[in-house]
Structure 1
């Protein structure tokens, strides 16, 4: 879905438009691909960056882009009081958003609203011990049985959206309108295989450009 970056010779002035262009190029993505990510026509973000139309990003569009690019919404034009940063209830604790989304471990789940409904509190020291001191984390629920026994239906997982570069491992990905949790493995140049832990589900091979890697799964929790 997110294709290699397109050259744009004319840099916009400092501000959200220029920052979006810089982040897009750093991510190795394209404005047309990100336009598709937010369900807009392929020229939407090019018009925003190069011509200032629209004058500012819609709140939901900005939220999705900030999550994908791994930045605070304020970098894309959000007022500071509406920008997300990991909430801190003290120097020793970090609050991590719980999003009302289900990442399917089966055939695929349709993405819904992304506003947090709750939060987990994690020890800052524990996060550092797990190598997650600089992670950008959110929590979502696993749906389906294709990742059993590793991940079960109803488990909650922490996803580090700062880790979006492709490497073998378990990731949350968006394929079309579906959000899935799968193990990713290289299938050759420009190809990736989505693997289930449950052998009843066959591997699915897709073009790397057809998926958006939301983040790497770094922790799970669930009922015994």
Structure 2
């Protein structure tokens, strides 16, 4: 394999990690490697080429063809004891952060610590094929009964034109999940589902829309 091809594959891996919001150290640990493994691969070219099992796991996690990460493009029959056969599934990272549905909380590290596995077919049926997805935890009670404290939500970070709905937003370094509605030119209203919390009117430029909430899961 030429040096230019190896370089492009390292660049592609770095790009995929940025798009998914996944840390290289977290990905390395997912592979059972030391935290610096992928950082060294991308920055120093060590190792020169990813091992087959590592490449397969990363390709399955990101939902891309192994060719993009140095594979030969052939059908694989590899089965890992901890991951299983997952050609029909996408792993969505669970980020180590919480989105406040209460008075507000500062986000912690955005490293992922685990993943949810979703069927590619189900994602396509939901209109989420190719979406940039991550899962985070709801904190607080302001979005009850729609979202409860401890629920995990799937957030679509794909660049899309804004429309009213439930979003994860960042306001003054605080991560929140709210129903966001347009309130005239240059203004947005952050609405809580729990009527005990009043609406908050803000300038659109003061709010960063992180992503749209597209799914939730929690205990019954």
Q: Same fold (TM over 0.5)?
A: yes
Question: Normalised by the size of structure 1, how large is the TM-score?
Answer: 0.63
1:155 aligned partner: 151
1:123 aligned partner: 119
1:184 aligned partner: 180
Q: Which runs of 5+ in 1 are unaligned?
A: 1-58
> 1:213: how far off?
0.5
1:200 aligned partner: 196
What secondary structure does 1:117 align onto?
A: strand
Could you give the per-residue CA deviations for residues 42-92 of structure 1, whole angstroms, max 9, x where no partner exists? xxxxxxxxxxxxxxxxx9xx999x45xx79999xxx8398xx874356320
Q: Is 1:87 the equivalent of 2:83?
A: no
Q: 1:96 to 1:164 in 2, by over 3 A?
A: same
1:99 aligned partner: 95
Q: Is 1:110 the equivalent of 2:106?
A: yes
Query: Which structure has the larger Rg?
Result: 2
Q: 1:130 to 1:186 in 2, by over 3 A?
A: same
C-alpha distance in 2, partners of 1:163/1:170? 15
2:209 aligned partner: 213
Q: 1:63 to 1:106 in 2, by over 3 A?
A: farther
Question: Quick check: 2:23–2:112 contact (8 Å CA) kept in 1?
Answer: no
Q: Is 1:133 the equivalent of 2:108?
A: no
Dislocated runs of 4+, deviation >4 Å: 70-74
C-alpha distance in 1, partners of 2:172/2:16? 18
C-alpha distance in 2, partners of 1:143/1:161? 19
Count of matched residue positions in the alignment of Structure 1 and Structure 2: 156
| Cα RMSD (Å) | 2.9
Q: 1:148 to 1:73 in 2, by over 3 A?
A: closer
What secondary structure does 2:112 align onto?
A: coil
What secondary structure does 1:94 align onto?
A: strand
C-alpha distance in 1, partners of 2:16/2:128? 22
Question: Normalised by the size of structure 2, how large is the TM-score?
Answer: 0.64
C-alpha distance in 1, partners of 2:199/2:164? 14
